[in-house]
């Protein structure tokens, strides 16, 4: 027996005999199904450009359904490298990587992908501007002023050098062979190719676009789905690309709908309006799971929640105050109260995957919860009770507001006066006007090497230094070691010292807990969530046949 909810019944009643509107699960019997996904946010920068949209929410909508790289991330597995638009690759030397392209790959406009598209995807015009391949120098957005509507945004060259600090260029060997030439040795070249940003675009589509904004709203890529409609802050609809090199996509359409309120996402899921509801807090899991026909997919992911300090603030310029703040936080209490114990407190800014290359620093831990030590540090600093602003978004991260409120109370217990300033978007969080203090953030492991997130996010061209939140000369020197040395022991010594600097001596941030993703969904879809923000809707992860 088929049970129709009210939404489905109204749809049937309002349809004429010649245009019967059937529920998705009935339409799927004669055509591929389409799905609707409720997300907290679609993109932060209102573009679909992976260089510009460096965010958790961007990962969800950009990969692996729209954008692809030469080397792909094994989203449903260990997050390691697998062949993508390149079928094989090998090192020529410590500075040179050669890749063989997959022949016959089609872009969404019908063009075949060739070495020319790959070389352009890493060109000055596309990414790097007039920056040079050299490490240790911070590149600020104000150094670049787009002169035409076709020029890349001012922040992209700095992001380019964040991801590829020493890339000198891409050589076209032949139609299906390219060589990446680095100015310095780099043990992470392969990893950089499957990190966010290093995806391949169609050169002709870029050239034909009237403006960068036009191109970034509907980029032509090689993924299994292509952009049908994008309405910033409202929705993004992807439609199947049947000439996809990996086979016919299993879905007709994927529509991401922006629904900021958690209750609205949950109610929409349970009423049948949405097939998926993302970023559920743990206290909503029971509401979904107790409803027949629904389930919650969840896992911890390669992302840690942080608080970042701004040392231009006169109070936070003193590392003793920042150290006190790190010792005032009872992380275990937060994990239990807000997450029901369903996530972990990591060993600082480290990931378990670092063990595979023996780059995990054993014995390291987040600063101990020690309120008395925190009070002593504040006394040494001569703190007088002046207010420290805490710029906060309304649950961009799961449980963000409640987490912030708990931390403010914990800081209050040691005598710190921290005041929450609610902001609407990341532009307001980073706005240099006014007084900065503390802000929320997260840090991801995208290369499976300690270079991420430490160097990529906190090094010379990490966002923290590009936004002028914090800087440390010794850490910047060690970042160059991490980017250029091929000596594993030397690199391991460098990352150990960087942890001491950034988490103990001159705190740049405080790690709170490992992030976890909880996604509500219809049980009959038999879809599996990746241990990431990304949602994989390729044929290999869609066994549902209607």
Q: Write down the architecture of domain 300-516 according to CATH.
A: Roll (3.10)
**Cα–Cα dist 447/83, whole Å:** 15
**Can you give the pLDDT at residue 544?**
58
**Cα–Cα dist 348/501, whole Å:** 12
Q: Report which DSSP code applies to 125.
A: I
Backbone angles phi, psi at 89, to 5 degrees: -155, 155
pLDDT at 462 over 80: yes
The pLDDT confidence band at residue 222, using thresholds 50, 70 and 90, is very high
**Can you give the pLDDT at residue 77?**
87
**Cα–Cα dist 219/99, whole Å:** 24
**Can you give the pLDDT at residue 440?**
96
74: tokens are: 């094994």
How confident is the model over 340-359, as a mean pLDDT? 95
pLDDT at 273 over 90: yes
Rounded to two decimals, the pTM is 0.91
The pLDDT confidence band at residue 14, using thresholds 50, 70 and 90, is very low
Closest Cα partner for 398 from 477, 335, 487? 335
Q: Would you tell me how many other CB atoms lie within 10 Å of the CB of residue 322? A: 26
Q: Where are the beta strands (DSSP E) in 394-478?
A: 418-423, 438-444
Residue 517 host element (H or E): strand 509-522
Q: What is the bridge-based pairing of β-strands 418-423 and 253-258?
A: unpaired
Q: How far is CA 249 from the centre of its chain?
A: 24
pLDDT at 8 over 60: no
The topology under which CATH files domain 34-262+525-541 is D-Maltodextrin-Binding Protein; domain 2 (3.40.190)
Share of the chain above pLDDT 70, in %: 94
pLDDT tens-digit profile of 29-80? Answer: 458 999 999 999 999 999 999 999 999 999 999 999 999 999 999 999 888 8
Q: Report the helix count and the strand count for the chain, using DSSP H and E.
A: 19, 16
**Can you give the pLDDT at residue 6?**
31
pLDDT tens-digit profile of 494-544? Answer: 999 999 999 999 999 999 999 999 999 999 999 999 999 999 999 999 985
Backbone angles phi, psi at 477, to 5 degrees: -65, -40
Closest Cα partner for 393 from 426, 360, 359? 426
The pLDDT confidence band at residue 15, using thresholds 50, 70 and 90, is very low
Query: Does 300-516 match 34-262+525-541 at the fold level?
Result: no
143: tokens are: 């150094």
Contact between 258 and 233 (Cβ < 8 Å): yes
Q: What is the DSSP string of 79-116?
A: S-EEESSEEEEEEEETTEEEEEEPTT-B-TTSPBP-HH
Domain boundaries along the sequence of the chain: 34-262+525-541, 300-516
Report the range of poorest mean pLDDT among 20-29, 42-51, 74-83, 201-210: 20-29
459: tokens are: 């090094």
Q: Which residue has the tokens 């150990």?
A: 496
């Amino acid at each position: 027996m088929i049970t129709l909810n009210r939404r489905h019944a109204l749809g049937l009643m309002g349809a004429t005999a010649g245009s019967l509107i059937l529920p998705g699960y009935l339409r799927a019997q004669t055509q591929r199904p389409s799905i609707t996904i409720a997300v907290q946010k679609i993109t932060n920068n209102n573009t679909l450009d992976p260089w510009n949209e460096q965010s958790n929410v961007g990962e969800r909508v950009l990969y692996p359904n729209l954008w692809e790289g030469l080397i792909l991330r094994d989203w449903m597995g260990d997050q390691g490298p697998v062949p993508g638009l390149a079928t094989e690759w090998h090192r020529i030397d410590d500075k040179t990587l050669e890749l063989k392209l997959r022949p016959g790959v089609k872009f969404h406009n019908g063009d075949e992908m060739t070495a020319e598209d790959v070389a352009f995807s890493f060109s000055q015009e596309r990414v790097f501007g007039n920056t040079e391949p050299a490490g240790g120098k911070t590149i600020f957005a104000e150094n670049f002023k787009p002169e035409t509507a076709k020029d890349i945004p001012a922040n992209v060259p700095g992001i380019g050098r964040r991801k590829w600090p020493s890339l000198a260029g891409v050589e076209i060997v032949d139609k299906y062979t390219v060589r990446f030439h680095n100015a310095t040795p780099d043990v992470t070249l392969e990893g950089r190719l499957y990190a966010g940003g290093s995806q391949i675009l169609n050169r002709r589509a870029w050239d034909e676009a009237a403006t960068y904004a036009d191109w970034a709203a509907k980029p032509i890529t090689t993924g299994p789905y292509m952009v049908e409609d994008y309405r910033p802050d409202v929705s993004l609809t992807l439609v199947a690309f049947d000439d996809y090199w990996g086979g016919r996509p299993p879905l007709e359409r994927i529509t991401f709908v922006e629904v900021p309120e958690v209750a609205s996402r949950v109610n929409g899921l349970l009423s049948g309006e949405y097939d998926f509801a993302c970023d559920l807090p743990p206290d909503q899991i029971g509401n979904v799971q107790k409803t027949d026909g629904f389930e919650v997919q969840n896992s911890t992911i390669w992302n840690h929640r942080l608080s970042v300090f701004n040392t231009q603030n006169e109070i936070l310029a003193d590392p003793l105050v920042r150290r006190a703040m790190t010792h005032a936080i009872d992380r275990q209490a937060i994990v239990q109260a807000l997450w029901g114990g369903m996530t972990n407190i990591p060993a600082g800014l480290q990931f378990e995957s670092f063990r595979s290359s023996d780059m995990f620093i054993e014995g390291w831990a987040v600063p101990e919860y020690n309120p008395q030590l925190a009070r002593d540090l504040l006394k040494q600093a001569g703190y007088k009770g002046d207010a420290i602003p805490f710029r906060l978004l309304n649950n961009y991260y799961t449980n963000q507001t409640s987490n912030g409120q708990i931390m403010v109370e914990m800081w209050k217990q040691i005598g710190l006066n921290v005041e929450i300033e609610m902001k609407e978007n990341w532009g307001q969080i980073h706005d240099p006007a006014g007084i900065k203090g503390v802000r929320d953030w997260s840090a991801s492991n995208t290369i499976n090497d300690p270079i991420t997130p430490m160097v990529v996010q906190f090094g010379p061209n990490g966002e923290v230094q590009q936004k002028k939140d914090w800087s440390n000369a010794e850490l910047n020197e060690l970042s160059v070691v991490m980017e250029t040395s091929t000596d594993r022991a030397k690199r391991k010594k460098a990352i150990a010292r960087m942890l001491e600097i950034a988490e103990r001596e001159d705190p740049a941030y405080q790690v709170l807990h490992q992030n976890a993703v909880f996604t509500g969904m219809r049980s009959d879809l038999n879809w599996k969530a990746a241990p990431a923000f990304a949602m994989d809707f390729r044929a290999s992860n869609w066994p549902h046949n209607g």
